Structure formats: structure tokens, C-alpha cells
Chains A and B, each alone.
Chain A
């Protein structure tokens, strides 16, 4: 069953602009993770945010988590062409598996 739902499904912005993607989930979680997938490649881990954290940064990435609303957002600042990819959120409610959303496809136009 799909836990996370990303919004929007697709996003196209100009290089240099900021990109924001949202993820909503249904049940209580231990953590929420964001991954990037370049076309035809495997997924790469970006950030893990725990349920007791509200915000986390990594370089140009900022992730927020609102457990009361069961939602998270991923902000990519000063976007680059290399940021073109699909972005997935995944939630961990047990030690054994992540539950994945369907992803947001991000296109950065030069």
C-alpha cells in the first residue's frame, strides 16, 4: 500500500529558481526520507528526518516535517540543471520497510 503521496506530480521551473515538493502520509512514522532518482538510474538518499525533528538542512536542500499534519516538504534552492530528476519520499513506520510515494518529476529549464 502506498503511504506517501507527493505533490505536485510534476514541476517545471527555470534554473536558479527554488523548487518545493510536498509529501503527505497516513500513519504515524519513525522517520521520513527523501530520495532522488535520475532517469534510468537507481535511487540516491538525500535526507532522513526523524519524527521528533521539524527541519533539516543539507547543502541546498531543506526538509521540514509536520507530524500533526502528517506532511513533509523538500525545498531545493537555487536549482541547477543537474537537479532534474524524480524525487520520492518514503516513510518508516517499522524497522523492516519503507513505504514509498509515487514521486515528483522535477524539470529544470536552462
Chain B
């Protein structure tokens, strides 16, 4: 039981390049989330999904897209990376919604955009 895994762990992009971050969970969770964490700030929600085939915008969705084609996977895409997207990205999942259930986190992806 691996829990929540993220690939890659580190990445350096040049401004304007694109990339996809992959999140996978093996706990059969319905909800999945993408967050970014910047120094001195709490986590900020980028996008989330409440089930296979569904996605929704969080607090800071601009510049990112997501897809959840399979229940166990949640992909985060950056179409044209900007230095402001330098951050640590965390994926999380939960059995159901936040009103009742805790979230399980992946180890994070450290992204630098130059």
C-alpha cells in the first residue's frame, strides 16, 4: 500500500515550457486535490476532484489545468510555466469530503521555473 505518490520529485523548467505532474493513490479515495506551498504561507488549493471524470477550480487555478480520467490518478498540467509558479506542489486524497475526512498527502514535487 503506497498511499499517495507523486512524480517527478524535482523539476526545473524554463519560462514558457510545459509539464505534467502525476499523482496516484491506491486507497480508492473519491476526492483528490492539488496544492501549492510557498514559503511562509499555508497550502493553497489549485484544483480538486470529487470523483473520476470531474474537476473543479480551487483558490489559485490560473495557469494550471487538471484531469482525472481514472479514479486513482490526478494530473496537474502547466501549459506555459512562469517564474511565479516556482513552488512545492502537493497532491492529496481523501475518502470523501473535508467535512468528515482527513487528507492523505504525497511527498511533494519541487518545481523551479527560471
Instruction: List residues of A whose CB falls within 8 A of some B CB.
Output: 1-2, 4, 30-31, 33, 40-45, 48, 88, 90, 92, 94-103
9 interchain residue pairs of minimum CB distance: A95-B97, A100-B42, A42-B105, A92-B98, A45-B102, A30-B99, A100-B43, A43-B105, A42-B107
User: Smallest CB-CB separation from A34: which chain B residue?
Assistant: B102
B108 adjacent to A102 (CB under 8 Å): no
| Chain B residues with a Cβ closer than 8 Å to the other chain, count | 28
CB contacts (< 8 Å) of B4 on chain A: these are 42
CB contacts (< 8 Å) of A92 on chain B: these are 97-99
Counted as pairs of residues, one from A and one from B, with CB atoms less than 8 Å apart, the total is 70
Tell me, in angstroms, the Cα distance from A30 to B100 when the chains sit together.
Answer: 8
Q: How far is the CB of B16 from chain A (nearest CB, A)?
A: 28
